[in-house]
Amino acid sequence: MNNEEKFGFEKLRVYQDSLSFSKQAYKLTKSFPKDELFSITSQLRRAALSICLNIAEGSSLTKTEFKNFLRRSRGSVYECVPILSLAFDNRYISENQFAELSNSCLKLAKSISALINSIK
């Protein structure tokens, strides 16, 4: 699919980054213990996916509504942070994985905030 055939939100860097983060979260949680499937595995997957879903859905609405959806998206980023901390504390992820994903969360939160502030 070329750039002209994409939805508008697919061209947003923050959407692309959030989709990448979601894919990382799904891949990472495949190695979590099975007894966490309905706990932090599910929570991290849903929160990570919610980031890009809210960007996509909100982009089709008014500017005010889009900003509200972006705030929800940023809230989902914030949800991921304690889940990642818990995963690290329980040794489900390495220190490097924790640092990388935490850094991704920080970048996403800043990018979403910048997008919110750019919408007049």
pTM of the model as a whole: 0.93
Which long-range contacts (C-beta less than 8 Å, at least 24 apart) are formed by 98-106? 101/21, 101/24, 101/25, 101/28, 104/17, 104/21, 104/24, 105/21, 105/77, 105/78, 105/80, 105/81
In terms of Cβ atoms closer than 10 Å to its own Cβ (0-12, 13-18, 19+), residue 92 is buried
CA distances from 96 to 4, 20, 42, 103 (A): 37, 17, 22, 10
| Residue found under tokens 């990382």 | 24
Q: Is the pLDDT reported for residue 2 higher than 90? A: no
Of residues 65, 62, 59, 54, the one with CA closest to residue 108:
54
User: In sequence order, what are the residues at sequence separation of 6 or more whose Cβ sits closer than 8 angstroms to the Cβ of residue 64?
Assistant: none
Q: According to the model, what pLDDT value does residue 3 have?
A: 60
User: What tens digit of pLDDT does each residue of 17-70 get?
Assistant: 999 999 999 999 999 999 999 999 999 999 999 999 999 999 999 999 999 999
User: What tens digit of pLDDT does each residue of 55-85 get?
Assistant: 999 999 999 999 999 999 999 999 999 999 9
Of residues 96, 57, 92, 89, the one with CA closest to residue 73:
57
Domain boundaries, the chain: 10-118
Of residues 7, 99, 102, the one with CA closest to residue 53:
7
**Mean per-residue pLDDT over the chain, rounded:** 96
**Fold designation for 10-118:** de novo design (two linked rop proteins) (1.20.1440)
Q: According to the model, what pLDDT value does residue 99 have?
A: 98
